[in-house]
Amino acid sequence: MNAAIQTRDELLAKIVEQLSTDERFPAAWLTGSYARGQQDAFSDIDITLVVSDEHRDVLCARPWTVSPQTTKERRDLFAAFGEPAILHENNHNAPEGGTFTFVAYAGSAVMVDWILRPLNTALRPGDSHLLWDRVGIPLQSPAEPESLEKQTSEASEIVAFFWMMAAVTVKYLHRGDSIFVNTWLEELAKLVYEVERRVKGQVWEYKGGSFTELAATPDDQTRAVRELCERMENLMPLVKSMGGYVMESPRPVIETLIARAPDHPGDL
């Protein structure tokens, strides 16, 4: 077994051994790559601990929303499994009434997303991997598709944003800024996916990895822009048929920009 995987699995086993009988934590589960069965040597541990009512106010306290530190009580919990070398708390990512803390441990470099959530609002996602449950946490209802009205409105806005950023991407292609261009080729591909999802009436689901491949040369980048524009152009009639608002295809404008190779970078 890969040494990194073995070290991480040993840490997870230690967490389960020590906390599964801890009265503060009646239930726990994994999300992320572990829950999907897709973990590799670089995966972190995404663990949700359900906190009993008696300990909720202390362990789920949120004196700040984003911070380089955590409370003493949570740090003591995390430090029971090694010395935190990197710690960042971001409760924008936390469940209702709970907390989210990223910890990377010294020595092992194992990364853990510690998610604490109070028992009184706890629901377990259907795609999670249960570690223990002494109280019978109910499963969260599957996500339902958004209303047609919302899907249509969002798809229309995404289409408009796509064409604006496609034009901006071509500008930076001419300026030779490959990092900007490749970053936005990826974002443009995500926008196409989001319109496709809404046209099909699908709920959001996690997509791992990149949506695009690295476009190394200007020719590759130009080709990638054109391919993404074609995909979006093909989606626009479907958005319109849903009742959405889309302009006539801006594709000719993008082609005009592509053809406008400047003599000097400042021309664009």
Structure tokens at 28: 């726990």
Please give the C-alpha separations between residue 20 and each of 12, 13, 50, 61, 134, in angstroms, as whole numbers: 11, 10, 11, 22, 9
Q: How sure is the predictor about 262, in pLDDT bands with cuts at 50, 70 and 90?
A: low
Q: Is residue 263 scored above 80 in pLDDT?
A: no
Residue corresponding to tokens 């028992």: 119
CA-angle at 74, arms to 68 and 79, nearest 5°: 90
pLDDT category of residue 1 using cuts at 50, 70 and 90 = low
Task: From 140, 162, 154, 177, select the one nearest 230 (Cα to Cα).
Answer: 162
SS3 234: helix
**DSSP code, position 212:** S
Tokens of 12: 């997870």
Query: Tens digit of pLDDT for each residue in 2-36?
Result: 888 899 999 999 999 999 999 999 999 999 888 88
pLDDT at 193: 96
Per-residue pLDDT of 92-151, as tens digits, reads 999 999 999 999 999 999 999 999 999 999 999 988 999 999 999 999 988 777 899 999
* Residue 254 clears pLDDT 50, i.e. is over it: yes
CB atoms under 10 Å from CB of 220, counted, come to 16
Going by the DSSP 8-state scheme, the letter that residue 80 receives in this structure is T
Cα angle at 216 between 214 and 222, to 5 degrees?
95
Q: For residue 119, what is the DSSP state?
A: G
Percent of the chain clearing pLDDT 70 (strictly above): 97
Is residue 79 scored above 80 in pLDDT? yes
What single letter denotes the amino acid at residue 80?
A
Cα–Cα distance for residue pair 191/158, rounded to 1 Å: 7
Q: How far apart are CA 65 and CA 189, in angstroms?
A: 31
pLDDT score of 266 more than 70: no
Could you identify the residue written with the tokens 């695009």? 212
To the nearest whole percent, how much of the chain has pLDDT over 90?
82
The sign of the torsion formed by the CA atoms of 16, 18, 21, 27 equals: negative
Euclidean distance between CA atoms 268 and 260, whole angstroms = 9
Q: pTM of the prediction? A: 0.79
Confidence of residue 265 (pLDDT cuts 50, 70, 90): very low
- Rounded mean pLDDT of 186-193? 97
